[in-house]
Amino acid sequence: MYVELKDINKNYGNFEASKDINFGIEKGKLVALLGPSGSGKTTILRMIAGLETPDSGEILIDGEVVNDIPASKRGIGFVFQNYALFRYMTVWDNIAFGLKVQKADKEYIKQRVDELLTLTNLKGFEDRYPTQLSGGQRQRVAFARALAPNPHLLLLDEPFAAIDAKVRQELRSWLKEMIEQLGVTSIFVTHDQDEAIEVSDQIILTNKGRIEQIGTPLEIYQNPETAFTAGFFGKGSKLDYPQTFRRFDIPEGVDDLLVRPEFVEVTKKDEFQKYSNSVSEGTIVEAEFRGDWIELKVDVDGNVINARRAPEAEPVEVGERVNVLVYKLLVTENDKARILYNESVREPVVVI
Ligand SMILES: Nc1ncnc2c1ncn2[C@@H]1O[C@H](COP(=O)(O)OP(=O)(O)O)[C@@H](O)[C@H]1O
Ligand SMILES: [Mg+2]
């Protein structure tokens, strides 16, 4: 493991900002710290950086305990959400800043800044000041500045939060490619599940100062282990009257039942119906075209659930009665989550 946190605790007064934090990050990986606002992501990042001291526990970088090593000696690059660039410096001087502090050789600085201008697509902008740049360009300067001294570890705290959706999307793919190309171990903080899923090799999910689950984006999405994780990922709808869904063996005493849109199939009454003895009836209450799919809300005996239909399929209309087939549910009980399959779906298909 390149970065390791062992039994880290951090309180602010009586408030537990980090509680029993344990994780490891392999060299060269891009890991997302994901969680709602206030869940302790920035606190973890600041402790790794050396800007904050844990109350107990150890932080290791490259096998060495760094608890007592100052921030400036940890070989870390930062990009923060509002990491203000130096306003009175040009792009070139901003990028060169860290190298000048290190008193690097003049020729080397020239060559390195040039390299970074190319890497971040900022060639031609070197004489501009930050106010003469777009938000996306400014964040690329911030990346270049962080990367200039060749950090072993790159920490990014919600770097795209202040940038509008379209540019943010472009920056995400760009960042992922750039980090893969450079091979620098990186920790990316975000509260946006889509961003974490798209960008990272691994997600560390935080909630109330604790870690809920660690895994690849797909593992966490498909197999949420806790109630929090089940609710945080995907666009689940809670079922208020689950008994209306046929052929689910729902155990006594469960806390919540969640259904995600991808667990549901909505068909018109005259369409071919799979697993017909598992089907419930519902009424379309909303149907909105979203480009790649039609987003539906369907009322099934008082449960309003989200579902999707392909834009190519015959349209369904608000008020229309439809068949609703739920393949599986997420069940939560005592903070644990698991998947419950429709009995018809789990039965082996007999081919005659
Ligand atoms: N220096 C501080 N003093 C007191 N409370 C703090 C301090 N820094 C953070 N907190 C509190 O710790 C909690 C976690 O904060 P933070 O790590 O910034 O969360 P996140 O980055 O996930 O939004 C928040 O409730 C915040 O108010
Ligand atoms: Mg934060």
Full pLDDT tens readout for the chain, 352 residues: 999 999 999 999 999 999 999 999 999 999 999 999 999 999 999 999 999 999 999 999 999 999 999 998 999 999 887 767 899 999 999 999 999 988 999 999 999 999 999 999 999 999 999 999 998 899 899 999 999 999 999 999 998 888 888 888 888 988 899 899 899 999 999 999 999 999 999 999 999 999 999 999 999 999 999 999 999 999 999 999 988 998 899 888 899 999 999 999 999 999 988 888 899 999 999 999 998 999 999 999 999 999 999 999 999 999 999 999 999 999 999 999 999 999 988 766 566 5
**Number of alpha helices (DSSP H) and beta strands (DSSP E) in the chain:** 9, 19
Q: Which residue minimizes the CA distance to atom 27 of ligand 1?
A: 38
Q: Which residue minimizes the CA distance to atom 5 of ligand 1?
A: 12
Residue 250 DSSP code? P
Q: Note residues around ion ligand 2 (Cβ under 5 angstroms).
A: 42
Q: Which residue minimizes the CA distance to atom 16 of ligand 1?
A: 40
Q: From the CB of 41, is ligand 1 less than 6 Å away?
A: yes
Residue to probe by mutation, ligand 1, list 14, 15, 188, 205, most atoms within 8 Å of CB:
15
Residue 221 DSSP code? H
Q: From the CB of 35, is ligand 1 less than 6 Å away?
A: yes
The C-alpha angle with vertex 44 and arms to 42 and 50, in degrees rounded to 5, equals 100
Residue with tokens 């593992």: 219
Q: From the CB of 135, is ligand 1 less than 6 Å away?
A: no
Look up residue 13 and give its two tokens. 């007064």
- The number of the ligand 1 atom at minimal distance from the alpha carbon of 37 is 23
What pLDDT does residue 165 have?
83
What pLDDT digit, counting tens, does each position of 230-265 carry?
Answer: 999 999 999 999 889 988 998 888 999 999 999 999
Look up residue 43 and give its two tokens. 């606190």
Q: What span, in angstroms and rounded, lies between the C-alpha atoms of 109 and 258?
A: 55
Gap from CA of 40 to ligand 1 centroid (Å): 6
* Nearest alpha carbon to residue 147 among 178, 187, 116: 116
Q: From the CB of 40, is ligand 1 less than 6 Å away?
A: yes
Q: From the CB of 53, is ligand 1 less than 6 Å away?
A: no
Bridge partner list, 346: none
Look up residue 107 and give its two tokens. 């020729």
Query: Which residues, other chains included, contact 29 with Cβ-Cβ below 8 Å and sequence gap of 6+?
Result: 2, 185, 186, 201, 202
Q: Which burial class, exposed, middle or buried, applies to 301 when counting CB atoms under 10 A from its CB (0-12, 13-18, 19+)?
A: middle
Bridge partner list, 274: none
Q: What span, in angstroms and rounded, lies between the C-alpha atoms of 217 and 190?
A: 14
- Domains defined for the chain, CATH in brackets: 3-225 (3.40.50.300), 232-346 (2.40.50.140)
The helix (H) or strand (E) run that includes residue 119 is helix 106-119
Q: What span, in angstroms and rounded, lies between the C-alpha atoms of 150 and 240?
A: 54
pTM of the model: 0.90
- Cβ pair 29, 201 in contact under 8 A: yes
**Size of the chain in residues:** 352
Q: Which burial class, exposed, middle or buried, applies to 308 when counting CB atoms under 10 A from its CB (0-12, 13-18, 19+)?
A: middle
Residue 111 DSSP code? H
Q: Which residue minimizes the CA distance to atom 12 of ligand 1?
A: 17
What pLDDT does residue 185 have?
96
- Its sign, for the CA torsion 241, 246, 251, 255, is negative
Look up residue 208 and give its two tokens. 């109330």
